[in-house]
């Protein structure tokens, strides 16, 4: 199939594009190469994709509607996978405008492009952060998400709502997926795993917020890619919810639209995560325990029942294995 992937030079977009190419799809990547973190890392990812005959790249910002339209015209996509976004919670304290432009204006442009291209399926990346102040665990897709705790979460929730309206108005089958703490090789330098490994290797202290009491539902990137690949062929049909014991489908009653958690449904304590890194590095971390930062969730825990019912699959790679893969990649790229 012909697939357009926005954010193809990003961490998840790169892994997903590589999987799609391996499966024989024609992939057009669209990425702004923004300097939010080291652009050379993004360029190296794109270079790996460019080695595949089925890949072509367009460089441009989501906010640049004309450039995005040219990419869509070139791709003639049957499917659009929208992963490009301004990510991160803390960056929003100093650069809030970047979230509005990329995650709202950019998302609008993608939705307009999807409408014009008459695609078969739109897959739209969201985040576990939308669950915000919810205290009921595990998080289920049908739980309320009206208490976002960061601008990032608010803009991603808005993107979900915008995509629902387009699914209703223009009959665009749409699957939104909420990612839960994705990690693995080629990860972003601003993410905890990258920062922890880099600091420990250099003998520098690591900052552990929430004094280490936070818990996360970690998702290894290859598992996430497998889940997305399976969801690609699971196209929402209005009036045809899935029926499974103990599972409530998030399928909209007025649109071919649903939202799906992608996670294994297993929590790991932050200090346990640090200890797994220490074991793989063979070095102890210098721990700087700090208070919780504004915008952070103390705990994330997904109900993965809907993903299992739709795809027969749930992420299951143990943190020890995923951390090992990251450390091997990091040392190969940066030494150590």
Q: Any residues with CB less than 8 A from the CB of 272 and at least 6 apart, and which?
A: 319
Nearest to 104 by CA among 150, 144, 163: 163
Read off the tokens for 250: 């998030």
Residue 287: exposed, middle, or buried by beta-carbon count in 10 A (0-12, 13-18, 19+)?
Answer: middle
Omega before 279 within 30 of 0, i.e. cis: no
- Catalytic position from the list 91, 99, 131, 152: 152
C-alpha to C-alpha distance for 283 and 336, rounded to whole angstroms: 11
Nearest to 315 by CA among 240, 263, 245, 255: 263
Read off the tokens for 78: 């049957």
Query: Measured between alpha carbons, how far is residue 11 from residues 49, 186, 255 in Å?
Result: 13, 6, 30
- 330 catalytic? Reply is no
Read off the tokens for 76: 């003639």
| DSSP-derived secondary structure letter, 93 | G
Phi, psi of 25 (to 5 degrees): -80, 155
| DSSP-derived secondary structure letter, 176 | E
Strand runs (DSSP E) across the chain, as ranges? 2-6, 26-31, 55-59, 79-82, 121-127, 174-179, 182-183, 205-208, 215-216, 219-220, 257-262, 268-269, 286-289
Q: Is 336 helix (H, G, I), strand (E, B) or coil?
A: coil
H or E stretch covering 122 = strand 121-127
Question: How many C-beta atoms surround the C-beta of residue 34 within 10 A?
Answer: 15
Answer yes or no: are the C-beta atoms of 85 and 130 closer than 8 Å: no
Question: Annotated catalytic sites, by residue?
Answer: 152
């Amino acid at each position: 199939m012909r697939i357009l992937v926005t954010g193809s030079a990003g961490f998840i977009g790169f892994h997903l594009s590589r999987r799609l190419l391996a499966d024989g799809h024609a992939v057009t990547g669209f990425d702004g190469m923004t300097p939010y973190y080291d652009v050379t890392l993004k360029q190296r990812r794109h270079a790996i994709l460019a080695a595949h005959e089925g890949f072509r790249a367009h460089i441009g910002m989501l906010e640049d509607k004309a450039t995005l339209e040219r990419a869509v015209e070139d791709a003639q996509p049957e499917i659009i996978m929208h992963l490009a976004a301004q990510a991160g919670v803390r960056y929003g304290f100093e650069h809030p405008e970047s979230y509005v432009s990329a995650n709202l204006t950019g998302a609008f442009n993608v939705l307009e492009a999807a409408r014009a291209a008459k695609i078969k399926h739109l897959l739209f990346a969201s985040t576990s952060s939308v669950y915000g102040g919810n205290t009921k665990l595990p998080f289920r897709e049908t739980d309320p998400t009206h208490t976002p705790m960061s601008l990032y979460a608010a803009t991603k929730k808005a993107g979900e709502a915008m995509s629902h309206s387009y699914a209703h108005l223009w009959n665009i089958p749409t699957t939104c997926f909420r990612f839960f703490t994705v990690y693995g090789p080629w990860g972003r330098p601003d993410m905890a795993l990258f920062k922890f490994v880099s600091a420990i290797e250099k003998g520098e202290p690591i900052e552990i917020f929430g004094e280490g009491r936070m818990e996360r539902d970690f998702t290894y990137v290859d598992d996430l890619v497998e889940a997305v690949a399976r969801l690609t062929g699971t196209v929402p049909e209005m009036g045809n919810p899935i029926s499974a014991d103990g599972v409530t489908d998030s399928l909209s009653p007025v649109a071919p639209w649903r939202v799906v958690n992608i996670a294994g449904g297993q929590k790991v304590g932050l200090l346990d995560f640090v200890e797994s890194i220490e074991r793989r590095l063979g070095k102890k971390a210098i721990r700087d325990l700090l208070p919780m930062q504004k915008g952070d969730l103390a705990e994330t825990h997904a109900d993965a029942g809907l993903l299992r019912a739709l795809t027969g699959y749930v992420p299951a790679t143990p943190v020890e294995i995923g951390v090992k893969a990251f450390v091997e990649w990091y040392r190969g790229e940066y030494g150590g």
